[in-house]
Amino acid sequence: MEALSGYYNTEQRSYDLSINHSENISEKQIERICIHIIAEGIQNLTLEFVDGNFIFFTKKKEKIRFVEGPLSELIFLQKKAKKDLDGEIAHQEIGRGLELVTTTSTSSDLDFNNSTLDEKARIQHSLFSSLDQFKKVFSNAEIYFEPYEDPGGDFYWIKRYPNHSLVVVGDCTGHGLEGALISMSVMTLLKQFFKSLPESMEHSIYDFYDQFKSLMEDEDFDAFDTELGFVLLDNQTHKMSYIGSGVNLIVKTSKSTNIHTTRKSKIVKKEQTILELPLERGDQLFLFSDGIQDQFDNMNTRKLGTRGLLHMLEELDRVTLENFTQVYDTFRGSTEPLDDQTLLMLTI
């Protein structure tokens, strides 16, 4: 697909078009919109067209960057266009984004695109379960996964048993290579520890933490730690059990949306109770690391918090990666994250 891309210089009232073909809009119309943006003090403007494409305009200082693409790439290209204005990326990256449009994307590609991972991150990500594994159990599975640095300390994993499935989201201390090393150790231990279906979730988690602690002590990693969230689902009856050590769970049903929190200190004291809930088809589960709730808003003054996240998910009729990303990106604007961010979205 040929698409329009370029920028408008608001002082000189001139264009620089790197790609100048659009089915939807003429150069004259672009100019009128740019003049309107300047006159009305608009920061960002998106036109969505009936043919499934969009044009996004973003203004900063004396430039208005605009880029056209298909709606499936809206968030990706909006981000790229905004960053380009800040001088953080080269223009070719927008071109690369547009090129993605010309290739056929699979649903897995859209769930989480790992084409830009470097080698360190690839090694770590190879231990992650693919979303296809989740989709064998759940009617839908998507993930918002944004490491502070790649590789990061967050991970997600699923183990399927004959009639049950165990889902784990983990958040290891630190981020970058340090966090990744810990998360790889935790994932390896998890795979060994939960080879067969645990008889008691509470006792298995307590034992798991005891083993993890001794492993870290032996490896001089005692300063490092991990927060985990476990969901065990009966694949036939849809009865769910949840226990964790700081990775919290939001359950959205047709009647209500509720948050269930756990604490590491209760696991250490062996006091953490297990939550058991009957679920129905269409109910949604959200396991998330604290990087999500610790995100500051676009003014960099207020944290999202667990209540903010709960409200965000409550407001959306049916949460998808696309509509969550839209809401979440609007909340945070260009404020940088402080930690790895993972939100696993599972639909029964």
Contact residues: other proteins, CB under 8 A: 24-25, 28-29, 32-33, 36, 40-51, 298, 312, 315-317, 323-324, 326-328, 330-331
C-beta of 88 vs 315, nearer to other proteins: 315
The CB-of-41 to other proteins minimum distance in angstroms stands at 6
C-beta of 267 vs 321, nearer to other proteins: 321
Tokens of 338: 């402080």
The CB-of-148 to other proteins minimum distance in angstroms stands at 23
φ/ψ of residue 344, rounded to 5: -90, 125
C-beta of 86 vs 118, nearer to other proteins: 86
The CB-of-258 to other proteins minimum distance in angstroms stands at 20
C-beta of 36 vs 195, nearer to other proteins: 36
Q: Residue 337, preceding bond cis, omega within 30 degrees?
A: no
The CB-of-84 to other proteins minimum distance in angstroms stands at 17
The CB-of-44 to other proteins minimum distance in angstroms stands at 4
Tokens of 194: 């939960």
C-beta of 112 vs 331, nearer to other proteins: 331
Distance CA 175, CA 194 (A): 25
Q: Which residues of 158-197 are buried (b: 16+ CB within 10 A; e: fewer)?
A: bbbeeebbbbbbbbbbbbbbbbbbbbbbbbeebeebbeee
C-beta of 25 vs 279, nearer to other proteins: 25
The CB-of-255 to other proteins minimum distance in angstroms stands at 18
CA angle 274, 279, 281 (to 5 degrees): 150
C-beta of 16 vs 48, nearer to other proteins: 48
The CB-of-2 to other proteins minimum distance in angstroms stands at 16
Distance CA 56, CA 141 (A): 29
Give the pairing of strands 140-146 and 341-347.
antiparallel
Give the containing element (helix H, strand E) for 30. Answer: helix 27-40
Please, is 150 exposed, middle or buried when counting C-beta atoms within 10 Å of its C-beta (0-12, 13-18, 19+)?
buried
C-beta of 133 vs 306, nearer to other proteins: 306
Distance CA 146, CA 135 (A): 21
CA angle 64, 68, 73 (to 5 degrees): 115
Q: Amino acid identity of 22?
A: S
Cβ-based neighbour number of residue 234 at 10 Å: 14
The CB-of-25 to other proteins minimum distance in angstroms stands at 6
Give the containing element (helix H, strand E) for 55. Answer: strand 53-60
